[in-house]
Amino acid sequence: VQLQASGGGLVQVGGSLRLSCAASGRTFSQYSMAWFRQAQGKEREFVAATRSGGSTHYSTSVNHRFTISRDSAKNTMYLQMNYLKPEDTAVYYCAATGVRWNSGSLGVESSYDYWGQGTQVTVSS
């Protein structure tokens, strides 16, 4: 599986962005997928995940502001980000795994086998 993240950019506080993650392969619908982010000087952290069955999981820092979704017909996952804050500034990575992890493992970086190249999101105050 190859992943290509896009949609990052510069946005003001309170604004919105939608990230996309295009996946190759015909088994996209069977994969659990996630977004992680890494701010400068910090470790990569979990943002949101979606299982193949459609359930979603969010970190507390983005819950109720970000929405993860997927379109199996387009082999694409999205992250709609609203009410952006300066602390959301980071490089955002998409990831995928064919393993059916329990929900507690979906937020763990090592649970994912495939990673996209990252897209920069900068929120200015």
H/E segment holding residue 97: strand 90-97
Buried b (16+ CB within 10 A) or exposed e, 4-17: ebebbeebeeeeeb
pLDDT tens, the chain, 125 aa long: 899 999 999 999 999 999 999 999 767 888 999 999 999 999 999 999 999 888 999 999 999 999 999 998 999 999 999 999 999 999 999 999 988 888 889 999 999 999 999 999 999 99
Contacts for 46 with CB less than 8 Å, ≥ 6 apart: 34, 36, 59, 106, 107, 108, 109
